[in-house]
Structure 1
Amino acid sequence: MWHLTLNRRERLTHDRNGFSEKSRTQLKRSGILKMAITGAETMVDEDHGEPFVLRATKIAAVVALYWFISITMVFLNSYLLDNKDLNAPLFVTFYQCLVSVGLCGLMQLLSMIKPDFVNVPAVNFQLKTSREVLPLSIVFIGMITFNNLCLKYVGVAFYTIGRSLSTVFNVLLSFIILKQSTSLQALVCCGIILGGFWLGVDQEGLAGSLSWSGVFFGVLASACVSLNAIYTKKVMPAVDGSIWKLSYYNNINACLLFIPLILVFGELGQLSRFNRLTDLKFWGMMTVGGVFGFAIGYVTGLQIKFTSPLTHNVSGTAKACAQTVIAVVYNSSSKSFLWWTSNMMVLGGSSAYTWVKSREMQKTTRKAPQEPDKEKLLQGEKGDAGV
């Protein structure tokens, strides 16, 4: 019996090691870009033999790249949306989606020419799949549109506060739609975020710079971010679980849906009166904004690859803090102690929520394998008793 048990363990160990080696080989072939655009959260560590200094330098470079692209994208969008001569936020967002579609096509072309450098799945557009993804695309349009409108009315300095309720909506909508409960610790973190949000709104109002339109759009954007995560899970089977395909269909649907919205809200008239339609600098800035919007997915995956999902969230929180400080310094603004306190409450509550959820996921992961093992052990005992 012991001999049989040892043989089983040896086979299991051999299978696991074989799977691990196979996984490493596949991940090395696919590279970082595939991980970033297919939605993988972690990759096998390939740098065990590297000196600490070299690995630390790589991590610092990747985090710096993520910060640069993310912060630049926010400031660039703020610049484009704050254009006094062109009040057409829907058109700006539409053009960025159009650039993303073009870059998706370019990536597929590069994948065929240089498969060792770029490895993405080929996507043949199908109307049935497009219809299945449509509900998510509607939420996606709301998310990016309200996000840009919030940025247009509140500016970069208050942007972190204005868009801070995504975590709260995530908990609320997960309970209403998915019937998922939330721990007391996570609810306390949400309470801190809510407190920071209201304090920030209050301080912005006292300073005389509050835009209720910006706050309203920020709240809607936060709700759409949470809905986007929920609907993404629902439509994943339609695209075979591929984030790359989902992004492709999402952006195509968004481009088509934006056209009637641009007409209904009269932005076509705004464009016809805009005197910089032939200005290459304007279109260059618009295109760069679209490229940065597309690139954020790549650098997000890159940062997760070199650190971890938890570290990525902490880095994102610290980036938001730095982004706020840069905006205040750039605009030579004077903010009160309570205004800064509201930002720290939002960022601290978000970081604490990330840590709490990470601990809960680790506990769930540890418990999950034990139950099947226990079931197998009981089955084995019954079998032995029967013999």
Structure 2
Amino acid sequence: MYKNLEEHNRLVNKYLKIFFVVALYWCTSILTVFVNKHLLSSDAVNLGAPLFMSWYQCVVSTIICFTMSRLSRKYPSVFTFPEGNPLDIDTFRKLLPLTVLYTLMIGANNLSLAYVTVAFYYIGRSLTTVFSVVLTYLILRQRTSFKCLVCCATIVLGFWMGVDQESLTQSFSWRGTIFGVLSSLALAMYSIQTKKSLGYVNQEIWLLSYYNNLYSTVLFLPLIILNGELDTILAYPHLWAPWFWAAMTLSGFCGFAIGFVTALEIKVTSPLTHNISGTAKACAQTVIATQYYNDVRSAIWWVSNIVVLVASAAYTRVKQLEMVQQHQQRNAATLKA
């Protein structure tokens, strides 16, 4: 009886932990999107400089990582952060291709959010899975199963349905849609390159994040100038307002926190559960956005969202089953040998 009660309490604690971590991921992710959108195009703030905001987010993340690194050296029993030197030239050279993709991914992401509505934001960036399949074949020469290709084709169909319906509204922006597609492409390329780059930092995810954010603070500067944001920033009426920098810093903390809670959710659940959670979160985010901004959408527009969400979840499930099957086949081959 005692053992059964102890096992029951252990399972309850486990599932409560999973519930709170997933809830934390949802809240942090949705809050990040709404905070960024508020900074970029709300009547109160309307910064109009998405790359500058991206740069500042990288600055905040770099400061947080640097502080954690110093605290871990001074108080190793309280704080933990992997050892590394971001100013090492050889490390910079090896990680530069990944940092370029990281910069493009964040920049295109915020550029897309500056022009499209939060409700359309998920659809505009829904082609990451499709690009991942294409790039995996072109770069790694790895073929994809027919079932996965069907899922990808369905995602593309849902994307075009969403774009077609969004184009009928006054809020539609081809520029924002194109930046969303570029963000999806950069994310797919970043994911592939990350596997290689982790070897340069002893598989330390936080060290890689530290280096990427630090190097991106440099790479964003010429992009800010080329995008014509320097004059926008200097002419911004609230540039020296404390509340503005407080909001910008909050955005930076959200950007850093989303990386932390993503890694935490994967740790306490699994990559499959995280992908399913992200898909469900996107659905909730879309519903919240339409209610918050009073967006009235057509039935076909909602169907396009459902098509993308279901197809994305189906792709994740199919890939998971294929990985299990491959693992079982390798084990069987090992036993025969």
Instruction: Tell me, in whole angstroms, the C-alpha distance in 1 between the residues paired with 2:297 and 2:81.
Output: 46
**AA matched with 2:298:** S
Instruction: Tell me, in whole angstroms, the C-alpha distance in 1 between the residues paired with 2:305 and 2:182.
Output: 19
Instruction: Tell me, in whole angstroms, the C-alpha distance in 2 between the residues paired with 1:370 and 1:317.
Output: 34
CA contact (8 A) 2:48 2:114 kept: no
Aligned to 1:105: 66
CA contact (8 A) 2:117 2:171 kept: no
Aligned to 1:256: 218
**AA matched with 2:270:** S
Instruction: Tell me, in whole angstroms, the C-alpha distance in 1 between the residues paired with 2:210 and 2:268.
Output: 26
Deviation of 1:108 after TM superposition, in Å, equals 1.3
Give RMSD over aligned pairs: 1.7
Establish whether residue 58 from structure 1 lines up as the match of residue 20 from structure 2.
no
Establish whether residue 230 from structure 1 lines up as the match of residue 230 from structure 2.
no
- Equivalent position SS for 2:118: coil
Distance 1:56 1:235, change over 3 A: closer
Instruction: Tell me, in whole angstroms, the C-alpha distance in 2 between the residues paired with 1:364 and 1:69.
Output: 35
Instruction: Tell me, in whole angstroms, the C-alpha distance in 2 between the residues paired with 1:263 and 1:226.
Output: 26
**AA matched with 1:356:** V
Aligned to 2:278: 316
Aligned to 1:7: none
Instruction: Tell me, in whole angstroms, the C-alpha distance in 2 between the residues paired with 1:51 and 1:138.
Output: 45
Aligned to 2:30: 71
Instruction: Tell me, in whole angstroms, the C-alpha distance in 2 between the residues paired with 1:178 and 1:118.
Output: 38
* CA-to-aligned-CA distance 1:43-92 (integer Å, 9 cap, x gap): xxxx9673443333222211111110000001011111215653211111
- Equivalent position SS for 1:206: coil
Q: 1:150 aligns with which of 79, 101, 112?
A: 112
Instruction: Tell me, in whole angstroms, the C-alpha distance in 1 between the residues paired with 2:251 and 2:186.
Output: 21
**AA matched with 1:80:** L
Distance 1:320 1:260, change over 3 A: same
Distance 1:296 1:307, change over 3 A: same
Establish whether residue 95 from structure 1 lines up as the match of residue 63 from structure 2.
no
Distance 1:277 1:219, change over 3 A: same
**AA matched with 2:48:** N
Aligned to 2:79: 118
* CA-to-aligned-CA distance 1:189-247 (integer Å, 9 cap, x gap): 11111111011111112234321111111111111010101121232322222222221
Instruction: Tell me, in whole angstroms, the C-alpha distance in 1 between the residues paired with 2:202 and 2:17.
Output: 33
Establish whether residue 342 from structure 1 lines up as the match of residue 301 from structure 2.
no
Aligned to 2:3: none
Q: 1:271 aligns with which of 220, 230, 233?
A: 233
Q: How does 1:350-369 map to 2 (within 5 A)?
A: 350-369=312-331
Instruction: Tell me, in whole angstroms, the C-alpha distance in 2 between the residues paired with 1:75 and 1:277.
Output: 21
Instruction: Tell me, in whole angstroms, the C-alpha distance in 2 between the residues paired with 1:261 and 1:357.
Output: 37
TM score, norm. by length of structure 2: 0.93
Q: 2:148 aligns with which of 186, 190, 206?
A: 186
- Equivalent position SS for 2:9: coil
Instruction: Tell me, in whole angstroms, the C-alpha distance in 2 between the residues paired with 1:99 and 1:75.
Output: 18
Give structure 1 stretches of 5+ with no counterpart.
Answer: 1-46, 376-387
**AA matched with 1:53:** V
**AA matched with 1:132:** K
Establish whether residue 80 from structure 1 lines up as the match of residue 42 from structure 2.
no
Instruction: Tell me, in whole angstroms, the C-alpha distance in 1 between the residues paired with 2:167 and 2:227.
Output: 29
Distance 1:130 1:328, change over 3 A: same
Q: How does 1:1-80 map to 2 (within 5 A)?
A: 50-80=9-39
* CA-to-aligned-CA distance 1:108-137 (integer Å, 9 cap, x gap): 123234434432212222011111111111
**AA matched with 1:58:** K
Deviation of 1:296 after TM superposition, in Å, equals 1.0
Deviation of 1:261 after TM superposition, in Å, equals 1.8
Q: In the comparison of the two structures, how many residue pairs are matched?
A: 329
**AA matched with 2:175:** S
CA contact (8 A) 2:114 2:176 kept: yes
Aligned to 1:167: 129
Instruction: Tell me, in whole angstroms, the C-alpha distance in 2 between the residues paired with 1:203 and 1:105.
Output: 45
Matched-pair identity in %: 49
Give structure 2 stretches of 5+ with no counterpart.
Answer: 1-5
Instruction: Tell me, in whole angstroms, the C-alpha distance in 2 between the residues paired with 1:228 and 1:266.
Output: 26
TM score, norm. by length of structure 1: 0.81
